[in-house]
Amino acid sequence: MVATTIKETQEKLRKGEISYKELLSGFLSRIKERNEETNALLSVMEKQSEKIKNVSSELPLYGAVFAIKDNILIKGESCTAGSKLLEHYRAPFDATVIEKIRRNGGVFIGKANMDEFAMGSSSENSAFGEIRNPYDLEKVPGGSSGGCAVAVKDGMCNAALGSDTGGSIRQPAAFCGVVGFKPTYGTVSRYGVISMASSFDQVGPFANSVEDAQLIFETIRGKDEKDSVTSNFEKKEAPKSIKVGIPEEYFVEGMEKEVEDAIKEAISKIEKNDIEVVNVNLPHTEYALPAYEIIMASEVSANMARYDGIRYGLEFDRPAAKSIEEAYLKNRGGGFGKEARRRIILGTYTLSAGYYDAYYIKAQKVRNLIASDFSDAFKKVDVILAPATPTLPFNIGEKVEDPLSMHLSDIFTVTSNLAGLPALSIPCGERKGLPVGMQVIGDRFNEDILFHVSKKLEKIWKK
């Protein structure tokens, strides 16, 4: 039997209750049983996973088997980023986070499907087919790291590594009933991770417990000379008493009643467990989504410019092109999907000479105001609690032709990316047989306090 958490797996391995061979064969059997239905993994890495046999039992990630989002490079393995443009691309080197996981005992079992270049909130935008929620195969698993969330929840691995630009770890974690963590911007290296929007992107774990998420984070964090924004930070002592803030701005019109009821019930439970709950104000929250969309699309436009099918990537009928411009049009028009094209066009528009000041600069000013709101709030509380998503998992195809409605799925998560804050989604209940996630947001570089509080909340909500 395959254990669900890393800690449980380690205990069983050390006691001799399972062997490495049984551990791997359990995960591989589950993949063969379920992956055709869910489409969570794009490739299975049996040769990589065999390396677990030589792992020392003293290493922190001993016994940890990972799925890796397919925008994170593993040397010699395919890395498609969910796009036709990179369908045959193989990584020439390991990402820093991959080196750290391998060095600390973790192994890799598969590359996880995802929205193309991490652009999406439902995992329906992959060039290799949509991903399905293990709770209900007609529902989306959230995105863009949907394959990671499904693989962990469905027992294909006991952890996964994804990327979060505007909620792409926390939102699918909430939709699939697992823990998903986005660290403070700059605490984890992005070297070897295919960029979407560079000032937002952050790598983080999916796990079956807060304890596992913390273990993985502590393994992959730290300064990296190959990523200039990374830094080290000192550990902080946990508070003797816990004070959590509830922002009224997150309980917006349009939130599904089932989600609101589950969130309020979860909050009422913690009030009975010696945790002080206070109201906090984040007044600029209403401007967060439009500000995020403008800055994100602008950075997408810049980052996607390299995919022309000439330097690398798939060529689309290039020999028949009569000019370099026609070659670009064929390669980019044939390679990028609808959502990627939509964001590239929007970003190119907002960066153009006539609109740069009117949109991009104003959005950056709003970003600073949102960060300031959080700074003020954290003078009063240790963490902030908020819904991870405004809805339960929705049907596949329901919002794919309605970009505005789709982007609203990230309304509660983008603020943490704008402010560069750590945030974690924890399952806090179910409604209609589907999971609801609570978001726990911490102050910058306060991961230790965030995990301390989150582990207490997890115990309360599991009772």
Task: Centre a 10 Å sphere on the Cβ of residue 379 and count the other Cβ atoms it contains.
Answer: 8
Of 30-44, 209-223, 264-278, 318-332, the one with minimum mean pLDDT is 318-332
The whole-model pTM stands at 0.96
Condensed to tens digits (0 to 9), the pLDDT of residues 256-278 reads: 999 999 999 999 999 888 899 99
Q: How many domains does the chain have?
A: 1
Condensed to tens digits (0 to 9), the pLDDT of residues 437-455 reads: 999 999 999 999 999 999 9
**Where in the sequence is the domain holding 432, given as residue range(s)?**
1-463
Please state, in angstroms and rounded to a whole number, the distance separating the CA atoms of residues 215 and 7: 9
Answer for the pair 389, 171: CB distance below 8 angstroms, yes or no: yes
Q: Are strands 243-247 and 383-387 parallel, antiparallel or unpaired?
A: parallel
Condensed to tens digits (0 to 9), the pLDDT of residues 315-341 reads: 665 567 788 888 888 888 888 999 999
pLDDT at residue 56, as a whole number: 81
Q: How confident is the model at residue 50 (pLDDT cuts 50, 70, 90)?
A: low
Query: Could you tell me which residues come within 8 angstroms of residue 224 by beta carbon, excluding any fewer than 6 positions away?
Result: 96, 189, 191, 230
Q: Are strands 179-182 and 423-431 parallel, antiparallel or unpaired?
A: antiparallel
User: For residue 79, what is the domain's CATH number?
Assistant: 3.90.1300.10
Positions annotated as catalytic residues are 69, 144, 168
pLDDT at residue 3, as a whole number: 52
AA identity, residue 312: Y
